Structure formats: C-alpha cells, structure tokens
Amino acid sequence: MRSIKQPGVPVAERIQWVEARGRAFSFTLQAGLPLLEAARRGFAAEGFAGGVLNFTIGALGPFAYVMPALSKTGDNAAFYSDTFRPQGVTRLKLGSMTLGSRDGTPFFHCHALWTEADGRAGGGHILPEETVVAEPFEVRAFGVDGATFTAEPDPETNFKLFGPVAMAASGARTTSRAFALRLRPNQDFAGSLEGFCREHGIVRARLHGGVGSTIGARFTNGGVTKPFATELAVTSGTIAPDGSGRLEATLDAALVDYTGGLAEGRLIRGDNPVLMTMELVLEALE
C-alpha cells in the first residue's frame, strides 16, 4: 500500500475515537453571515455544539480557500497553497464540513468542489475567517452529543488537527449511537472503518461528514489520481455485510490534488491510504 513518511513518530492508536450519541437533521444557512457563524447557529438551534455536515448546493461570496501543495520547508509531508480569493459568487457543487473548536472558539474544517463566477471549476479547503454565505442554502447535518472535534497539535504530522474528544452531554435530542473518529496517516480508509466496526460490534453503519486527505486516489471506475497530496470530501458512505457476511465499506468521495486536478467516484477498498487525517462520524444502525 502507498505510504508517505511523516515528520513525527506514529502513535500506537491509529484511530482516535469517542463514542457518543447523535441525530441527523437539515437546516438552511443564512445569507449574509460568515459561513462559520451560519453553521454554528444551525447546530445550536438543534441543541448541538458541533458535528458534521454535507452539502450539494450553495453560494459563497466573499470566498477564500487554499489548495493542497508541496511542503517548501520539509516540516510537513505536504502543505497548503497561498490563499485564493475569487471575485463574485462561487457556486458550490458538493462538500463536507466538520464543525468543532480551535483555541476555545468555534472553527470548521471544510473541503468542497465548486464553480467560480468566471466558470472555472475548482476545489480545496475553505477558510472560515474569510468566507460568507451569499445566498441561503440547505445542508444535511449530524449533530453529536457527548463528543466534539477539537483542533490540537499533532506531533506525527506537525499540524494542528481536528480530533474527537469527550465532553459532557448537553441533553440534545438524539436518536442514534454514534462514533466521532479521526483516522491517522498511512492506513487504508475503507479497511480502517471495517476493522473499527468489527472491533466495536457494529454490523451496519452510515458515515456522516468526512473531511481529510488520501495519498492520491484509486476509484472503482478506473480513475486514478497520481499526485499524492489531496483535499478530499466524502459524499456518502456505508459499512454493511457483503454476500459472505464480511463487513464492506462503500465510500464515495470527491477531491482536488495539488496540481489542481479534480476527481470524483467510489474509492477502491484496500487502495486509498490516509495522507494526513480523515475526520468523520459513524452512525451505528445495528
């Protein structure tokens, strides 16, 4: 399996996780608000401090983002580009967001694909501090109670990364057993989820959110992303028994690589290792 040497020593626990409770719901992001505040209000209205969300439509402006890039210093296995600020209204095609906290205040990690006002198709990592909702749009969310994603220094990658930590339950209405997860580098995305479900007695699960990076990508339709640094958003995911009763993860994703290449499709099991991180929530269905 492909792997990338990280600057720090790998920790023994390759999946950071917290068991909690959660609930799926939808809400509309309000126009004129910073994207971060609009997302925070949507979760807060349902009693949640954070969680994950997905979208398949949207409009942003002002808008700022970065793309994956090669590291200029060697302090990280890969890094970010300079900031891009396209003019006009950018139309979102799809994306995923993790809403949590950084330095004690709300923060998000969001990857998406979009079309800019001049017609250019793009993708990358949306910056919370400079992005505003241009028109109202609906998102599909999953709130988590009893866990939150908090940005903390990660010695292995030398980044400050979101990871799940336990927190006191707020009493929000929940419907499901849920696990907030962070997958660490150099492990297969699908295989890691399948192993986690086996270890925790989860027979069927649905994936919510899904923000991270893979070492290139291999898709079931034959598509291949060769550049190793990507920004990836999961568009849908399930874990369920196959015909022989073995757990099988079905993961659909979209990404941009560091050359600007865009790709979408179903990820091949066993051939899509994590580059830096992968944050998500698993909802246990059985």
In a domain, 8, yes or no: no
Tokens of 99: 């809403």
Average pLDDT over residues 192-220: 98
Dihedral angle, C-alpha 272, 200, 284, 183, nearest 10 °: -30
Residue with tokens 């925790």: 200
CB 39 within 8 A of CB 58: no
Average pLDDT over residues 278-286: 96
Instruction: Give yes or no: residues 124 and 200 share one domain.
Output: no
Instruction: Give yes or no: residues 137 and 196 share one domain.
Output: no
| Domain harbouring 247, CATH code | 3.30.1330.80
Instruction: Give yes or no: residues 133 and 246 share one domain.
Output: no
Q: What is the pLDDT of residue 286?
A: 77
> Can you give the residue range of the structural domain that contains 113?
21-143
Residue 35 has pLDDT above 90, yes or no: yes
Q: What is the pLDDT of residue 1?
A: 87
In a domain, 10, yes or no: no
In a domain, 249, yes or no: yes
Instruction: Give yes or no: residues 215 and 272 share one domain.
Output: yes
CB 207 within 8 A of CB 236: yes
Dihedral angle, C-alpha 275, 276, 279, 285, nearest 10 °: 40
HSE-CB for 104 with a 13 A CA cutoff: 0
Instruction: Give yes or no: residues 99 and 198 share one domain.
Output: no
Instruction: Give yes or no: residues 135 and 219 share one domain.
Output: no
Instruction: Give yes or no: residues 181 and 139 share one domain.
Output: no
% of the chain surpassing 90 pLDDT: 99
* Residue of 198, 190, 208, 200 whose CA lies nearest to 274: 190
Residue 112 has pLDDT above 80, yes or no: yes
In a domain, 131, yes or no: yes
In a domain, 60, yes or no: yes
Instruction: Give yes or no: residues 238 and 135 share one domain.
Output: no
Instruction: Give yes or no: residues 28 and 133 share one domain.
Output: yes
Q: How many structural domains are present in the chain?
A: 2
Residue 101 has pLDDT above 80, yes or no: yes
Instruction: Give yes or no: residues 219 and 139 share one domain.
Output: no
Residue 71 has pLDDT above 80, yes or no: yes
Residue 73 has pLDDT above 90, yes or no: yes
The answer for residues whose C-beta is within 8 angstroms of residue 196's C-beta and 6 or more apart is 15, 17, 179, 181, 202, 282
In a domain, 164, yes or no: no
Last residue of one domain, picked from the residues 143, 164, 192: 143
Q: 241 vs 19, 167, 203, 206, CA distance in Å?
A: 22, 32, 7, 13
In a domain, 153, yes or no: no
CB 147 within 8 A of CB 51: no
The pairing of beta strand 15-29 with beta strand 105-115: unpaired
- Partners of 281 in beta bridges: 180, 208
